[in-house]
């Protein structure tokens, strides 16, 4: 297990569109050199999360 700082991190992330919240209070740390999968049911926010991580969507709250 690596003790290095995560390459990608999100803290208290809140995402959505207009008045519709899609992701609320997400904390995420993806370690360097690891393969990570984001899985979930349809319409649960996977694509919205990826858009935010790519900085294509501005979070309502968090970083």
Q: Return the C-alpha torsion angle 1, 5, 13, 47, nearest 10.
A: -60
What does the pLDDT read at residue 3? 65
What does the pLDDT read at residue 7? 86
Global confidence as pTM: 0.81
**pLDDT tens column, 5-63:** 778 899 999 999 998 999 999 999 998 988 999 999 999 999 999 999 999 999 999 98
Is residue 1's pLDDT more than 60? Answer: no
Q: Could you give the CA distance from residue 47 to residue 16 in angstroms, rounded to a whole number?
A: 11
What does the pLDDT read at residue 6? 74
Instruction: For residue 46, count other CB atoms closer than 10 A to its CB.
Output: 16
Evaluated on CA atoms 63, 50, 1, 25, the torsion sign reads positive
């Amino acid at each position: 297990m690596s003790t290095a700082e995560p390459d990608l991190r999100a803290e208290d992330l809140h995402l959505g569109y207009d008045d519709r919240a899609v992701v609320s209070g997400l904390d995420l740390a993806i370690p360097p050199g690891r393969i990570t999968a984001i899985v979930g049911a349809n319409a649960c926010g996977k694509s919205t999360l990826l858009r935010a991580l790519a900085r294509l969507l501005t979070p309502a709250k968090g970083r």
